């Protein structure tokens, strides 16, 4: 018995629709999962956004590329097009820009760390004095933050979270300060909140003295490096003059030795 063409067409359309529905459901589910993963990745990048100083080497390399391009402007043209940028010049400028950016990053990071250490020492002392006077931890943090502009954003964030969970707020403060020496401060503040500030305020005084000792050692090390660099700078003219005479003597010795060798041959 012959099949009804209309029935066959209807069955094919139903099968195609069912398959399309299943495929669409699968694609939508997978697409939603991919979108959620990308959203999570973007949020994670936003939370872990690097400061501008971490991009200094990359920006220096980009500046080197821009400088190489600007140097190529105005050069003689051939076949109606600008002469291409020389590869050696481009590589040299990129390396020089990256090195300068890396040096700027290291200098900026070191100065920022010194500034944070100085303000952390002041912060330690201010918190110690107010805890001994009987102030509460939130009021102590609020008053001490006015003396430390660099640490103020992290302290203000801690105070905003204080009403939800004081312990989590102090843990967040330890993370936001981003200096190893501040971990003691966070732990002491947690203990001060739990046991009373007047009982453990002396620990903050010891922490402040430790920070002062570290800053003195770092400044002495930096001073010694500066004196060594100044000494090398003053030696450069003498080394230049010595290089002129040494180079001439070496060239003369090489010519003399070569002439004797050729004579005996």
Q: What is the pLDDT of residue 74?
A: 52
CA distance 245 to 241: 7
CA distance 56 to 99: 9
Please check the confidence at residue 165 and state whether its pLDDT lies above 70: yes
77 belongs to a structural domain? no
Q: How many domains would you assign to the chain?
A: 1
Please check the confidence at residue 127 and state whether its pLDDT lies above 70: yes
Q: What is the pLDDT of residue 54?
A: 64
Q: What is the pLDDT of residue 167?
A: 80
Residues 10-19 pLDDT 10s: 666 666 655 6
Q: Residue 183's domain spans which residues?
A: 112-220
In this prediction, residues 123-133 reach a mean pLDDT of: 76
180 belongs to a structural domain? yes
Least confident of 77-91, 117-131, 224-238: 77-91
240 belongs to a structural domain? no
Largest CA distance in the chain: 116
253 belongs to a structural domain? no
77 close to 60: Cβ distance less than 8 angstroms: no
177 belongs to a structural domain? yes
**Residue predicted with more confidence, 12 or 92:** 92
Please check the confidence at residue 146 and state whether its pLDDT lies above 70: yes
44 belongs to a structural domain? no
216 belongs to a structural domain? yes
Q: What is the pLDDT of residue 77?
A: 45
151 belongs to a structural domain? yes
């Amino acid at each position: 018995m012959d099949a009804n063409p209309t029935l066959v067409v209807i069955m094919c359309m139903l099968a195609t629709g069912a398959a399309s529905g299943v495929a669409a459901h699968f694609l939508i589910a997978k697409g939603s999962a991919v979108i959620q993963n990308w959203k999570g990745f973007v949020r994670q990048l936003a939370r872990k956004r690097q400061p501008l100083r971490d991009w200094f080497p990359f920006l220096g390399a980009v500046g080197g590329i821009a400088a190489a391009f600007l140097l190529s402007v105005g050069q003689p043209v051939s076949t109606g097009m600008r002469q291409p940028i020389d590869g050696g010049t481009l590589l040299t400028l990129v390396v020089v820009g990256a090195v300068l950016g890396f040096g700027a990053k290291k200098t900026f990071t070191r100065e920022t760390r010194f500034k944070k250490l100085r303000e952390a020492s002041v912060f330690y002392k201010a918190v110690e004095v107010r805890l001994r006077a009987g102030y509460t931890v939130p009021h102590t943090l609020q008053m001490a933050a006015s003396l430390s502009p660099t640490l103020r954003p992290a302290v203000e964030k801690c105070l905003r979270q204080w009403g939800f969970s004081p312990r989590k707020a102090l843990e967040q403060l330890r993370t936001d300060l981003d200096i190893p020496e501040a971990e003691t401060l966070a732990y002491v503040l947690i203990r001060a909140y739990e046991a009373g500030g007047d009982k453990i305020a002396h620990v903050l005084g010891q922490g402040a003295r430790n920070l002062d000792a570290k800053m003195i050692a770092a400044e002495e090390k930096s001073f010694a490096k500066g004196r060594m660099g100044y000494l090398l700078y003053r030696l450069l003219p003498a080394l230049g003059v010595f290089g002129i005479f040494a180079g001439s003597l070496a060239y003369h010795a090489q010519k003399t030795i070569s002439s004797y060798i050729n004579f005996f041959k």
